A and B are shown apart, each in its own frame.
Chain A
């Protein structure tokens, strides 16, 4: 006996594209102008970040292109601006538009990287805790509880401070991107683990899991091939919000001097370096990157809100 049904017997399965076209997801997206606008802005952000080397008027990492005499120039709508620097320049004479484009790139890379790491840790730990239960469950969830009671930002700051103390300032700056991914990933995995564990507990009692177990499939296969696909929608929902959180965490760490160095700035370290000049009237160095950061995080949060409303089974199926 074969377990596969032959294609002649049943109607052909709809293709992925057809399934997407008929889905509730796309239907509600078409009816929600805020979600459409958010997605559009987000795509523009990602495109700008990816294409930064071609879009930016200058390369902010290239010291030869920086002119210290052109420092603290205002953006174009204020008197005294230079047409070569549309958005003005920062205190080191770097073109602000270019640094923002490159900075958004760094922020997005760290945001996505950190969420990928969190998701990996959280999904594995959540599956193990939910499916195996017992001591592993108690240990992992107690660990998550402790970490969450300290708030993820606090954990990130402390871990960041320790990593910086262990490696020293220079090494930390050289490997800042992977280290920040590691720090933020380690600080925020409990969110995922809890969500995944809750869905696993709900799925575990269902018949298809019993069937798989009766067939003698190994636990690993049941966990990753059978239960995991059924817990994907809550994972998607928190992933969106977590990207926004990770970007904010990175900005906060950079603002405290525990993140990206000023020579290789993210949006957070741009805000930090501009903050020193706000009292002298050069508000644009800090507030323009700040506004960009807020818009980026806001559109991700709005998308997350929309996705939660659509995928939340309580609201949609009930």
Chain B
């Protein structure tokens, strides 16, 4: 166990090292702090002196070590846009993204497990086929398009009456395609203050309403994947010997499905789920852009558009850290849950 832990930690450190090298090269090659600090009229000789004083002429390795030392203390300099330490800017935007991801994860877990299990138990049922059809369409719709369609349907509303309104079926069909609109689709509303920089949307009904559309859009991209994965794994498990044996023994079907089979279905789902957290963070950039959700993704895009190099570097480092931590945790959890993984690394 200890050996496995050390190996995983070493791997995590290696990945962080690679990320920091990339982040540092970005800062080194793209950001010219002198240009940001002094005006046009400052002569070249003074610029050179300032450059020397700040240590910008030092060799790459010396500069990198300085960067790494500061990074370890979460000090990445000042943001050009906000004119305050970048770490504070990122931490201020972090809760919004984390809450969006939390709401999305909740939706995915609550929907994908029952739907996946159902369509594995009854693979030929009409409803299962419907879910499978919807899920391949779902995979093909980019997340920002789902978001735009949701905005059109539930924020702006559809007032289109192509069918004759004087007949019964016509007005019924018209009612079916007409939607109210009015759902909030812009920003976070008025979140409740918890502590520090953390404002939450979970504490009030008003806040939750603001979460609905962004969370559904973000979930829409992951949901089909998880439904298909759970279905495939469950189908495989249901073919296995021990399930047949349990059935022969006369154990109730419900117990077999939800106690015996589901446990083994969830093993691969955990690994894939952990990896997908990274994808989810990438998709928050798109979702937050559409809904102007004031999280890290929107902040990152603004930083790109305005070439705020220190903020870009900070975002990369912090998101990298989140990825590495989640991936390491997922590996450890998988090792703990699955007894067939040899944690010690000893030969069998």
Q: Which chain B residue lies CB-closest to A154?
A: B282
Quick check: is A204 within 8 A (CB to CB) of the other chain?
A: no
Task: Say whether A290 contacts B145, CB under 8 Å.
Answer: yes
Given known A255-B286, A255-B289, A275-B148, contact A153–B279 (CB-CB < 8 A): yes
B-chain residues with CB within 8 Å of residue A302 when the two chains form the complex? 136
A-chain residues with CB within 8 Å of residue B29 when the two chains form the complex? 166
Q: Which chain B residue lies CB-closest to A248?
A: B142
Residues 285-302 (chain A) with a chain B CB within 8 angstroms: 286-287, 290, 293-294, 297-298, 301-302
B-chain residues with CB within 8 Å of residue A149 when the two chains form the complex? 15, 275, 278, 323-324, 327
Interface of A, helix, strand, loop or mixed by DSSP? helix
Given known A158-B316, A165-B304, A286-B148, contact A153–B156 (CB-CB < 8 A): no
Task: Say whether B278 contacts A154, CB under 8 Å.
Answer: yes
Quick check: is A151 within 8 A (CB to CB) of the other chain?
A: yes
Task: Say whether B290 contacts A275, CB under 8 Å.
Answer: yes
Given known A165-B30, A251-B142, A290-B145, contact A151–B278 (CB-CB < 8 A): yes
Contact with B along A144-155 (1 / 0, CB 8 A): 001011110110
C-alpha spacing A305/B136, complex, angstroms: 9
C-alpha spacing A317/B254, complex, angstroms: 34
Task: Say whether A279 contacts B289, CB under 8 Å.
Answer: no
Residues 103-159 (chain B) with a chain A CB within 8 angstroms: 136-137, 139-145, 148-149, 151-152, 156
Task: Say whether A298 contacts B304, CB under 8 Å.
Answer: no
A-chain residues with CB within 8 Å of residue B289 when the two chains form the complex? 255-256
C-alpha spacing A240/B220, complex, angstroms: 22
Task: Say whether B145 contacts A294, CB under 8 Å.
Answer: yes
A-chain residues with CB within 8 Å of residue B301 when the two chains form the complex? 256-257
Task: Say whether A157 contacts B285, CB under 8 Å.
Answer: yes
B-chain residues with CB within 8 Å of residue A158 when the two chains form the complex? 316
Quick check: is B259 within 8 A (CB to CB) of the other chain?
A: no
A281 to chain B, nearest CB (A): 8
Task: Say whether A278 contacts B142, CB under 8 Å.
Answer: no
Q: Which chain A residue lies CB-closest to B304?
A: A161
B328 to chain A, nearest CB (A): 10
Q: Which of A162, A165, A252, A281 contacts B286 (CB 8 A)?
A: A252
A212 to chain B, nearest CB (A): 32
B317 to chain A, nearest CB (A): 12
Contact with A along B294-325 (1 / 0, CB 8 A): 00000001001101010010001001100110
Contact with B along A237-271 (1 / 0, CB 8 A): 00000001000100110011110000000001001
Quick check: is B234 within 8 A (CB to CB) of the other chain?
A: no
Task: Say whether B149 contacts A287, CB under 8 Å.
Answer: yes
Q: Which of A166, A258, A278, A283 contacts B304 (CB 8 A)?
A: A258
Q: Which chain A residue lies CB-closest to B280?
A: A151
Task: Say whether A154 contacts B312, CB under 8 Å.
Answer: no
Quick check: is A164 within 8 A (CB to CB) of the other chain?
A: yes
A-chain residues with CB within 8 Å of residue B319 when the two chains form the complex? 154
B210 to chain A, nearest CB (A): 17
A-chain residues with CB within 8 Å of residue B282 when the two chains form the complex? 150-151, 153-154, 157
Quick check: is B230 within 8 A (CB to CB) of the other chain?
A: no
Task: Say whether B140 contacts A298, CB under 8 Å.
Answer: yes
A74 to chain B, nearest CB (A): 11
C-alpha spacing A252/B301, complex, angstroms: 13
A59 to chain B, nearest CB (A): 26
Among A275, A293, A302, the one with the most B-chain Cβ atoms within 10 Å of its Cβ is: A275
B-chain residues with CB within 8 Å of residue A161 when the two chains form the complex? 304, 312
A-chain residues with CB within 8 Å of residue B1 when the two chains form the complex? none
Residues 265-296 (chain B) with a chain A CB within 8 angstroms: 275-276, 278-279, 281-283, 285-286, 289-290
In the complex, the 6 A-B pairs of residues with the closest C-beta atoms, listed nearest first: A154-B282, A151-B279, A298-B140, A297-B140, A153-B282, A161-B304
10 more A-B contacts (CB under 8 A) besides A165-B30, A256-B289?
A: A149-B15, A150-B320, A154-B319, A158-B316, A165-B309, A166-B29, A255-B142, A257-B301, A257-B305, A283-B156
28 examples of A-B residue contacts, CB within 8 angstroms: A146-B15, A150-B278, A151-B275, A151-B279, A151-B281, A153-B283, A154-B281, A154-B282, A157-B282, A161-B312, A162-B30, A165-B304, A165-B309, A166-B30, A248-B142, A252-B143, A255-B289, A271-B148, A278-B148, A278-B151, A286-B148, A287-B149, A290-B145, A293-B142, A293-B145, A294-B145, A297-B142, A298-B136
